[in-house]
Amino acid sequence: MTAEPPPRTDGPPERIRVGVAELAVASGDTRLTTSGLGSCVAVAVADPDAGVAGLAHVMLPTADRDDLAKPAKSVDRGVERLVAAVESEGADPDRLEAKLAGGSRMLDFSGVGEGVGQRNVARAREALADRDVPVVAEDVGGSHGRSISVDPGTWTLAVASAHEGGREL
């Protein structure tokens, strides 16, 4: 029988960086981070009681042919895969909740219609509702970029923006 090492008490918590069109799951004091959120949306899903959270950095509202190589390129497939990944790490599907950040209107294309950021946010809300995952907090829209950090242990999503400052959801 092998003894587990004692919990780490020195240094900063471990950090997992989630790139564009990627997703990851963590627990405990491991932080999930992503940056460069413009029209992209960060979808964070957690079971707060289990201390398990996942983060997807999605680019587009709906799937396309390239989606298979990038697990979170679209909201459709990204949310589906994120929820499955969080559940496979021990989250109870009945306790899942979500937080959203991003979906900015970074460029003004007058007359083009609703921007991709707005469509990403709307589709994320729909995809989560389809899975009975309530959105409990969000920092979306505007015309500024964001970086975020998710703490699975406290289910805190910290949002930072050069133009808007920082806040916690």
Q: Which pLDDT band holds residue 129 (cuts at 50, 70, 90)?
A: very high
Percent of the chain with pLDDT over 90: 72
Domain that holds residue 155: 15-168
Q: Is residue 8 part of a domain?
A: no
Query: Residue 156's domain is classified under what CATH number?
Result: 3.30.1330.200
pLDDT at 1 over 50: no
Residues 159 and 144: beta-carbon distance below 8 Å: no
Task: Confirm whether 1 is domain-assigned.
Answer: no
Query: Is residue 9 one of the residues assigned to a domain?
Result: no
Query: How many distinct structural domains can be found in the chain?
Result: 1
**91 in any annotated domain:** yes
Does 146 map to a domain? Answer: yes
The pLDDT of residue 112 is 46
- The reported pLDDT for the residue numbered 135 is 98
Whether the Cβ atoms of residue 168 and residue 159 lie closer than 8 Å to each other: yes
Max mean pLDDT among 6-15, 68-77, 138-147 falls in 138-147
Q: Answer whether residue 162 shows pLDDT above 90.
A: no
More confident residue, 116 or 125: 125
pLDDT tens by residue, 34-75: 998 999 999 999 999 999 999 999 999 988 766 667 889 999
- Residues paired with 158 in a beta bridge: 149, 168
Residue 10 lies in a domain: no
- Going 128 to 82 to 43 to 79, the CA torsion angle's sign is negative
pLDDT at 114: 61
User: Rounded to 5 degrees, what are φ and ψ at 119?
Assistant: -65, -40
Within a domain: 141: yes
110 belongs to a structural domain: yes
The answer to which of 21-25, 68-72, 96-100, 115-119 has the lowest mean pLDDT is: 68-72
| Residue 54 CA from chain centroid, whole number | 7
- pTM of this prediction? 0.88
